[in-house]
């Protein structure tokens, strides 16, 4: 941790605790480009990205933010080179195994969302174990979107609701936002107040399409492995300067 980051272990004085986002989501973009600039293989960018995510999680915990959701692997990421996909699956599994004890000690509650059945069996087992062992932790809620796609999430929710209607368990007039949300991967998780995307890309990339209806977005040119507490501080300062009206005047 740098000297500047050490100074930012406590909530910066220019941030108002009552105006902090309760739930922050991140699209961690730029790992490959970061590695290329360093003259390193792409996989080293992903390893550096894990370190950045770990520090952001601890920062959220230190500063009193209640929930963090990270876009770890999209349904489209399967199209990447097989070597990179295999490395990512192994990396996820290794990080879970190595970090679980510390997560338990720090009262982090881990949850995974997405089509988890398509993941390697060994990774599924680590995911199940991490969620089970942290399910009662009262601290920050850490959600990892893995093999996640917003359109696919909405489609599977529609299918599940249609089946209930077909079976007579639900009437069409009973379908409302609350019912629909209960069939999403993120059921029971509050919508993000703030979505941060690194590397300058200005799109949602199929992430939390329903949930981001009124969420604020913050785009930074910084590549994900370089996104530290100073960068997070800037994002929160920008967020606190905005007026969230939710369609009102």
Contacts of 99 (CB under 8 A, 6+ apart): 54
* Contact of 103 with 134, CB cutoff 8 Å: yes
Active site residue ranges: 29, 77
In sequence order, which ranges of the chain are alpha helices (DSSP H)? 3-7, 31-37, 42-63, 82-105, 121-134, 150-166, 177-181, 229-240
In whole angstroms, give the CA distance from residue 188 to residue 141: 11
As a whole number of angstroms, the distance between CA 72 and CA 183 comes to 21
Q: How far apart are CA 147 and CA 160, in angstroms?
A: 19
Query: Is there a contact between 78 and 37 (Cβ–Cβ < 8 Å)?
Result: no
Residue 144: both structure tokens together = 């990892």
Structure tokens at 29: 């973009």
| Chain mean position to CA 94 | 19
């Amino acid at each position: 941790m740098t000297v500047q980051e050490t100074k930012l272990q406590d909530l910066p004085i220019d941030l108002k605790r009552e105006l902090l986002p309760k739930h922050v989501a991140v699209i961690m973009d730029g790992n490959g480009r970061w590695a290329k600039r360093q003259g390193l293989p792409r996989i080293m960018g992903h390893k550096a990205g894990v370190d950045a995510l770990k520090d952001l999680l601890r920062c959220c915990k230190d500063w009193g933010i209640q929930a963090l959701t990270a876009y770890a692997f999209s349904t489209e990421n399967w199209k990447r080179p097989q070597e990179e996909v295999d490395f990512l699956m192994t990396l996820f599994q290794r990080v879970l195994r190595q970090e679980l004890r510390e997560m338990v000690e720090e009262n982090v509650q881990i949850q995974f969302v997405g089509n988890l059945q398509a993941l390697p069996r060994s990774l599924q087992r680590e995911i199940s174990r991490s969620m089970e062992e942290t399910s009662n932790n009262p601290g920050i809620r850490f959600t990892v979107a893995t093999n996640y796609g917003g359109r696919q999430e909405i489609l599977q929710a529609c299918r599940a609701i249609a089946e209930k209607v077909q079976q007579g368990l639900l009437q069409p007039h009973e379908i409302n936002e609350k019912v629909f949300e209960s069939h999403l991967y993120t059921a029971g998780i509050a919508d993000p107040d703030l979505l941060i995307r690194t590397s300058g890309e200005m799109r949602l990339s199929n992430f939390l399409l329903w949930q981001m209806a009124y969420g604020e977005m913050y785009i930074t040119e910084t590549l994900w492995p370089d996104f530290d507490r100073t960068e997070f501080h800037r994002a929160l300062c920008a967020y606190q300067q905005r007026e969230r009206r939710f369609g009102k005047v």
